[in-house]
Amino acid sequence: MDATAQAQPNIALVKYWGKRDTRLNLPVTGSLSITLDALWTRTRVEFDALLRHDELRLNGAEDPATLARASACLDLLRRRAGTALRARIDTRNNFPTAAGLASSASGFAALVVAADAALGLGLDRRTLSMLARQGSGSAARSLFGGFVGMAAGQRDDGADAVAQPLLDAAAWPLAVVVAVTSDRRKHVGSGAGMERSRRTSPFYPAWLDSAAADLAAAQRAVQARDFAALAELSEHNCLKMHAVMQSSRPPLLYWNGATVDCMQRIRALREDAGEQVFFTVDAGAQVKAVCTPDAAPRVAAALAELSGVEQVLSSRLGEGARLLDDSEAP
């Protein structure tokens, strides 16, 4: 009873920061994201009657914190399958882990797809999205490719807090250039950070009040393929979220100097050089430049020359999580 799956991280253009239920990982607002192609997580899940407890290796090393979250997620699938079998999980990322590049999103999306297949459940994508969300809030979106919307939902059980595809990657083939300015794990995880902001940031109520309008405007921009509108909205939404983070007590300052330099360079590329490009930054120091495919080489070169940029990754938009054959196992 084993299966292997691959999922790609997603980058939120309209973000959620805050939960209405921390146990079920229910977001307090909706969100909109793009799924990447070149960055991936590959996860193999094997259920074994000889195991007394779940085991997990992340990039070849044991990771107790991730194991606890993965076991809780697998319990959801085990209950549906009517089994208590423990699992051996081997997972690998080809990009920095827990550093603001949505490795938990791709990780839990790959986990539920692999476990579903290994257990022979055959669950639909909506259900898998709901289950992945309980492992990591943003993982619900990595079940799908291209442009993806995530509903906050209203039900207490979270059954309507799921993701759905908005536009295929091929329908608007944008590119993403990632400036990695630190490969260190972030000092405060997203879940803990969200709760701190909810409790202490004076800007948090305004963040919630503007979320629905931002999401609706972004959805219109995507459907119209209006790059300028999406660029303005995404940068504004990003900076509002970081204002909430930075006004928390104690403050959540995920940026470093190179993060700010990258944002400034991206704005200069757009305003002075006429490139179609905009930035977004999640809970981490990495900067994602969303641009047209023809601009990607120039954007990558401009970011790579900045001091403090350790690595530049380039990707097109990609597909949702999928099963792999044995030759592609991690």
Judgement on whether residues 216 and 113 belong to the same structural domain of the protein: no
Judgement on whether residues 238 and 131 belong to the same structural domain of the protein: no
End-to-end CA distance of the chain: 17
Judgement on whether residues 200 and 127 belong to the same structural domain of the protein: no
> Is 322 a domain residue?
no
**Pairing assessment for the beta strands 41-48 and 86-93 based on DSSP bridges:** antiparallel
> Is 327 a domain residue?
no
Bridge partners (DSSP) listed for residue 6: 42, 322
Residue 329 has pLDDT above 70, yes or no: no
Query: Is residue 170 exposed (0-12), middle (13-18) or buried (19+ Cβ within 10 Å)?
Result: exposed
Judgement on whether residues 136 and 6 belong to the same structural domain of the protein: yes
Judgement on whether residues 158 and 20 belong to the same structural domain of the protein: yes
Judgement on whether residues 151 and 224 belong to the same structural domain of the protein: no
> Is 321 a domain residue?
no
> Is 93 a domain residue?
yes
Q: What is the pLDDT of residue 103?
A: 86
Split into its structural domains, the chain has a count of 2
**pTM score:** 0.93
In 3D space, the residue among 32, 281, 45 whose CA is nearest the CA of residue 144 turns out to be 32
Judgement on whether residues 124 and 85 belong to the same structural domain of the protein: yes
SS3 letters across 219-287: HHHHHHCCHHHHHHHHHHHHHHHHHHHHCCCCCCCCCCHHHHHHHHHHHHHHHCCCCCEEEECCCCCCE
Give CA–CA dist 83/56, Å, rounded. 19
Per-residue pLDDT of 268-306, as tens digits, reads 999 999 999 999 999 999 999 999 999 999 999 999 999
Provide the residue range defining the domain that includes 266: 175-316
Per-residue pLDDT of 105-141, as tens digits, reads 999 999 999 999 999 999 999 999 999 999 999 999 9
Per-residue pLDDT of 68-110, as tens digits, reads 999 999 999 999 999 999 999 999 999 876 655 668 999 999 9
Report the CATH number that the domain containing residue 208 is assigned in CATH: 3.30.70.890
In 3D space, the residue among 150, 195, 158 whose CA is nearest the CA of residue 33 turns out to be 150
Question: Cα 67 from chain centroid?
Answer: 19
Of 20-29, 113-122, 124-133, 177-186, the poorest mean pLDDT is in 177-186
Report the CATH number that the domain containing residue 158 is assigned in CATH: 3.30.230.10
